[in-house]
Structure formats: C-alpha cells, structure tokens
Amino acid sequence: MKKLLKYLKNYIKESIFAPLFKMLEASFELTVPLVVAAIIDKGIANMDKPLVYKLLFVLIGLALVGFASACTAQYFAAKAAIGFSKELRSDLFRHINTLSYSDIDRLGTSTLITRLTADVNQTQTAVNLFLRLFLRSPFIVIGAVIMAFTVDTKVALIFAVSIPLLIAIVFGIMFGSVPIYKKVQKRLDAVLKITRENLSGVRVIRAFNHQQKEIEDFEEHSEELKKAQLFGGKISAFMNPITYVIVNVSILLIIWSGGKQVDAGRLSQGDVVALINYMTQVLIEIVKLANLIINLTKSMASASRISEVFEVKASLTDDGNTPVNSQSEYAVEFENVSVIYGSAEKSLDSLNIKIPKGSTVGIIGGTGSGKTTLVNTIPRFYDVSEGAVKVNGTDVRKYPISQLRNMIGVVPQYAVLVSGTVRNNIKWGKTDATDDEILSALEIAQAKDFVLEKDGGLDAPIQQGGKNLSGGQRQRLTIARALVKKPEILILDDSASALDFATDARLRRAIKNNTDNMTVFIVSQRFSTIRNADIIIVLDDGDVVGIGKHDELFENCDVYREICTSQLYAKEEVSANA
C-alpha cells in the first residue's frame, strides 16, 4: 500500500484537511460527556432550569459544529480518494499498455481486468476510510482514556486494561485475515476468467450444446469463491462480538465501581454517566476502527496485487529515442532468428531469410508451425530470443517503437473492431485520413460496396467487436484500416480466411496493383492465396523447410506439396459430392 500512496501527491491539501476536520469533530464529541455531567450535577441536581437550557443549547451547538466538520472532512476525503483511484487506474492502464504480448500472456487478461477495476475500487474505499478514521478513532480512544482519568483515576484503570485487550484482538484478526483476502481475490480472478470465456465464446458453447457443462464449471468456481469469502467473513465477524463483550463488561465494571464511589461520596452521578459515555465512545470508535482495519486488510491484498503488476518490467523496451534513417535493398531480414515464449521449446529456430523491397511474401505451414510468431517479430509484438530482425537494414530494437509501427500495417489473425462508426475504425490507421483516402482503402479491401450500402455509409454504426457485421466484412474493414496509412510493410495474418475465393483473389490483385513498392506478408492456410507470391516461405514446427515460388516448391518441398494436394483433393471431393 505504501508504494501506491504516491498517487495522493496531487491531493496533499485534501489529505491533510480531511483528518484535521475529523479531529475537530472528535474534539467536540469528547466535550459532550462533560456537558452532560454538568447538566446532571449542576442543572438537574440543583433544579436550575436556566442552566439546563443553556447547556442544552451548548450541546446543540456542539452537534451542529461537529456535523459541519464531519461533512467538510467527508468532502475532502472523497475528493482525495476519487482522485487517488483515478490516477492509480490511469497509471496502471498506461503500464499495462507498455507490456509486451508475452508479459500479458503470462499475467492473464482476466486478472488484469480484476486488478484494474475491483482492486482499484477496494483501495479507493480504503483511502476514503483511512483519511476519515485513521486519526479520529485513535484520537477519541486516547482522548476518552485521558478524560476518564481526569474524572477518576481508580475507575479509569478499567480503561487501561480493556483498551489494550481490544487493540490486541483487532490487530490479531487483521493479520490473520490478510492472506485469506488474497485467496478471495484469486478466486474472483477465476470467476471473471470463466465468465469472460463464456461471454466471448457463447456461440461455440451453444453450438456444441455445452451450456450445462459451463454452468457446472461456473458454479464450481463460484462455490470456491463463496467458501473463501465466508471463511474470511467468519474470521472478521469475530471482531464485533468480542469487542462488544469486552466493552460492555467494562461498562458493567464502571457502573459497579462508580456506584461504590458515589455511595462513598467521592464521585457524582454525572461523573459516572460521563465515564459510561466515554466507554461507549471507545466502543463505537473501536468498532469503526475494526471496520476500517477489515477494509484496510482487503485493500492491502488488493494493493499487493496491483503492485505485482507494476513490478512487472516490460520485457519489450523502447530504447530508441532518435528516429532511425536507414536504407537497404531488403525490406525485412531475419538473421538466425529464434523465438521462445510460453515454454522451453522454440517456436522459431534459427531462421535466415531476406525479403527484397516490394515483394509479396506468402507464409504457409501447418497449425503451430510458427507463421504468426514469425510476422509478429517484425513490429516487435514479440522480441526474438536469439538473432535479429532488421527493417530497412536496421535492427527493429533500435527503432523507436512508434516509428517502427508507423512503417508497418498489421491485420491481425482475429478481426477486432471497436464500437463507433466505420469512419472512426478506419481512422485508427491514420487519424487525419480524408474521406477520399478512406474510400480508396475500402475499395482496395473490397469493402467499399457493402459500406456504402449501409445506412449512413462511412458513418454507419459499428457495435462492440463488430458484432453487427459478418466475419468477412470485419476482415475487410480491418484490412482497409491497415491500408489507409499506406505502410511500407503490410502484414496480413490469415486475414482473408472468411472470404470466398473470388473476393480473396480480387483483394490480392487490388493490393498488388494499388500499393507502390509495398512489401506484403500474407499468412494463410490456403495455398491458393499465396501461390502467386514472389516468395513463399514454408514452415514446419518452427523451421523453414522451403523458400521459393509455387512451382519449384511443389516439385521440391514435401510439406508444401502435401498441403497443396490435400487441399486440391478436398476441393475435388467437395465438387464431386455437390
């Protein structure tokens, strides 16, 4: 939690005023028992009505001033807590965006969402309560003890015994609860993960009639979360009854001891009432302190989880501060490239490939052969474990990341669109793109016709994730988004899988005819998509098993020939059965 307190630096004034006004309120509250004692001993005992009325007005004044102080303190505490959470959440989100693909894979998306939302909210609540109570409650407890000793030393010894006992119980329960609440947050991560998977994969789940199985899995994880929460709740629940028992026993002792002192004439009835009021104040503040500590316990677990994310140093560093100006006859060079992520096995192993500028490069291979990994090393989504990837003759690690990625247009394997309009989505590629540039990119991507047919044209609404579009339409819009920036290197990672053969062919022809000197990488499972490429790279289990054109690879590369013949056979079989 200490590491996160730096996010209060812009709210120092609020962080000081909130507890100060709470202390002011507490001072008035400590005065109340003395005024009540005076009403009993001087006003009621002497039948002095004017004094009683005068002291009642004093009590009302103390209440009003205390109420105003409490409201002011609450305002400052809320402002500081909300500002704290806003800056923490923003910085955490910013940090997450600096992490590489491999860092995010290792941490997990669901746990990052939990930490960015639930954990930050928990720390916000803790800051609010802390600013309001961390001085007020101890001040009243200590103040009540001191005031009790000023009333009567012998009876006040009850305070001296009961309060340390209460503090020992409260802190004992707190330290026992911290690891439990960490487990609760982990269980919450698991529930969030399975919920996210179910919502994103609802069509697949229903297609395979797996609803009942998923419901059972969800209930199992929910049951684990419930048990962890109940266990933590049971331990925390001991706090209030134990504190109430100790305080009420203390009140009984005060009445018993105070009554004897009154009989002996050493104490007044008002003094005994004042002592009981002070013990009641101690009870209330101990309960508040207990609730504060429970919240702090939860927030400490949340703060620890947030700090864990901040402690993850991005494996992908941006050391390039100065733009790189370099020229080479090769657009991309892979020099002895190996990539390891997720396991000890190499996803790519000792690749050596040189791609001339303006080439169309087809990449094909079986599932898990390393196709996507290969193209992801070009824009540095993943860094190579060994060797170097060069763009225009310069190692990609020497480029500022912003410059490198501005040179490259990427169409990912899974078409992702954001809620908004067609125009907004295309402008992700180039923020200042004109309508003519957008329409030109849509035309090359074979998306212009269906976009203009929609109500609103370029301003047609796009739902979250492009849910109101077909798979092929989403893919064509993501291609247009990459093309509008007119990159030097275009990467199409199996981005035409939802297109029919005719549209796929028109798309490839349009890209070739309308992109001057652009180097194009096409990752595909279909040999028909890459057969006319200038260079075809065949991958098998992370190794390059063939480089060349279609005819020579079909003749000399067993893996490529097997892919081609299996697809041709499947096509002929489908035609025969049609």
Report, as an integer, the average pLDDT of 450-466: 87
For the domain spanning 324-407+488-578, the CATH number is 3.40.50.300
**pLDDT tens digit sequence for 369-396:** 888 888 888 988 888 888 899 998 888 8
Residue 556 sits at the vertex; the CA angle it makes with 551 and 558, to the nearest 5 degrees, is: 110
Question: Chain centroid to CA 114: how far?
Answer: 5
pLDDT exceeds 60 at position 22 = yes
Mean pLDDT, rounded, of the chain: 83
Q: How many CA atoms lie within 13 A of 532 on its CB side?
A: 9
For the domain spanning 11-310, the CATH number is 1.20.1560.10
Fold of 414-486: Rossmann fold (3.40.50)
Please give the Cα distance from 241 to 57 (Å, whole number): 36
**pLDDT tens digit sequence for 58-95:** 888 888 998 999 899 999 999 999 999 999 999 999 98
Angle between helices 501-514 and 471-483 (to 10 degrees): 0
Residue type, 443: E
Please give the Cα distance from 431 to 425 (Å, whole number): 10
Q: What is the pLDDT of residue 577?
A: 44
Q: What is the pLDDT of residue 1?
A: 61
Q: If we measure between CA atoms, which residue out of 410, 379, 340, 371 comes closest to residue 536?
A: 371
12-26, 99-113, 305-319, 499-513 — which one is most confidently predicted on average?
12-26
Question: Chain centroid to CA 210: how far?
Answer: 29
Report, as an integer, the average pLDDT of 6-11: 86
Q: What is the pLDDT of residue 578?
A: 42
Please give the Cα distance from 167 to 200 (Å, whole number): 48
Q: What is the pLDDT of residue 71?
A: 92
**Residue 68 neighbours by CB under 8 Å, 6+ apart:** none
**pLDDT tens digit sequence for 140-192:** 888 888 888 887 788 878 878 887 887 787 777 767 776 787 788 778 778 87
Q: What is the pLDDT of residue 102?
A: 77
- Residues 377, 389: contact at Cβ < 8 Å? yes
DSSP secondary structure letters along 293-323: HHHHHHHHHHHHHHHHHHTS--SS-----S-
Q: What is the pLDDT of residue 76?
A: 93
Q: What is the pLDDT of residue 298?
A: 75
Q: What is the pLDDT of residue 574?
A: 38
Q: What is the pLDDT of residue 100?
A: 78
Domains 11-310 and 414-486 share a fold: no
**SS3 of 135, please?**
coil
Where are the chain's structural domains?
11-310, 324-407+488-578, 414-486
Chain position carrying tokens 């802390």? 130
3-state helix, strand, coil in the chain (%, to 5): 65, 10, 20
Burial 232-251 (b: 16+ CB within 10 A, else e): beebbeebeebbeebbeebb
Q: What is the pLDDT of residue 68?
A: 92
Report, as an integer, the average pLDDT of 243-266: 80
Q: Is the dihedral of CA 391, 396, 402, 403 positive or negative?
A: negative
Compute the radius of gyration of the chain from its Cα atoms: 35
241-250, 314-323, 448-457 — which one is most confidently predicted on average?
448-457
